[in-house]
Amino acid sequence: MSELDGVVDHLRGGQHFIIASHQRPDGDAIGSAMAAALALRALGKYTDVVFDAPPPQFLQPFPGVGQLRIATRIDETYDGAIIMECGALDRTGVAGLDRSPVLNIDHHLGNTRYGRVNWVDESAAACTELIFSLIERLETPLTREIATHIYLGILTDTGSFHFSHMTPRTFEIARRCVEAGADPQWIARTHYDSSTLGRVKIFGAVLNEMTLDPSGQVAVLTITDALATAAGATLDDTEGLINFPLTVKEIQAVAFFKEMADGMWRVSLRSKGNVDVRAIASQFGGGGHVNAAGCSATGELTLLRRTFTQLMAAAVAQSKEHSEDKPRRA
């Protein structure tokens, strides 16, 4: 029995479900949770979707997002708690989900397989690819609303079709979603072109302070509370900022330090090609994908910046050796 079979059996056998994903949800977290919820509701099943806080403003216009349940603990039990996109259960920020049998659906490396039922497929470019496969198996209609959420997850998790883990199936699913009525322009404009003025100002302030390593291939960005406040922005406004340095041809890897409480820094990492930033994040207890990963670190900022710059420069150098061994196929 495949892992997908296990999920399908469990869903067919139940009537009441709750779906959750990770804190500070992105397009794939919202897309996979909502697409699955809409499909289960189409089967006549009662389905709640819970997040610990309201999602960012640019995800609010997507179908059904206005009716999310916002809670940090769940006291009821359901026939299943379906957790999307979470390497570990505590990433939901919602307590009590494990009162119900947990179904763990994810595409991240390093998932701890914490569910009663686990379906972890690291080959999927987005968790919504898995939900597309699930919907095919459940034989529920691919409505325009569901297709919109599946496309949203693919669009955002591939960095607008930029990252390395896309497959022909990624495009096949995107095509099927567009055929079903998903509007690529509306989805992209709603997600990416809904900036606040504070967001544009914080981009300018953070990029102005960007530093490069001596090779010019590794960039480091930092945002402090003071910088955000001066720009009239919040940390939410920095969503997507990290991808900006990678538009510079020479830059191969980026680290973005965000100030949290008590001397702690959230460190997001991005890279191009086979520069492996997940391996760096995992040294600090984090995780993610080869080209997009994150972790937390505590310490003095200057030292942390130096440490991550060196680790990323080494990863860039290693990727070059690797690519000389194995030339890319044309």
Per CB under 5 A, residues contacting Mn ion are 28, 85, 127, 157
The Cα 212–Cα 6 span in angstroms is 48
Least Cβ distance, residue 33 to Mn ion (angstroms): 11
Nearer to Mn ion, 85 or 239 (CB): 85
Least Cβ distance, residue 11 to Mn ion (angstroms): 20
Least Cβ distance, residue 157 to Mn ion (angstroms): 4
Query: Which residues are bridge partners to 82 per DSSP?
Result: 19, 103
End-to-end CA distance of the chain: 38
H helix count then E strand count, the chain? 10, 12
What is the CA 80 to chain-centroid distance, rounded? 23
Nearer to Mn ion, 48 or 85 (CB): 85
Place of tokens 């009590």: 96
**In this structure, are residues 69 and 50 in contact, taking their beta carbons and an 8 Å threshold?**
yes
Exposed, middle or buried: residue 316 (CB in 10 Å: 0-12, 13-18, 19+)?
A: buried
The Cα 114–Cα 101 span in angstroms is 11
Least Cβ distance, residue 35 to Mn ion (angstroms): 13
Q: Are strands 46-51 and 80-84 parallel, antiparallel or unpaired?
A: unpaired
Residue of minimal CB distance from Mn ion?
28
Nearer to Mn ion, 166 or 233 (CB): 166
Nearer to Mn ion, 107 or 199 (CB): 107
Nearer to Mn ion, 188 or 313 (CB): 188
Q: Which whole-number Å values give the CA distances from 170 to 87, 88, 129, 298, 327, in the listed order?
A: 22, 25, 7, 37, 24
Nearer to Mn ion, 81 or 127 (CB): 127
The Cα 33–Cα 128 span in angstroms is 8
SS3 label, residue 205 = helix
In this structure, how many other beta carbons lie within 10 angstroms of the beta carbon of residue 9? 12
Least Cβ distance, residue 85 to Mn ion (angstroms): 5
CA dihedral 195, 196, 202, 207 (to 10 degrees): 20
Nearer to Mn ion, 28 or 239 (CB): 28
Least Cβ distance, residue 105 to Mn ion (angstroms): 11
Least Cβ distance, residue 125 to Mn ion (angstroms): 8
Least Cβ distance, residue 245 to Mn ion (angstroms): 22
How many degrees, rounded to 5, is the angle at CA 200 between CA 198 and CA 202?
Answer: 65
Nearer to Mn ion, 79 or 121 (CB): 121
The Cα 313–Cα 193 span in angstroms is 33
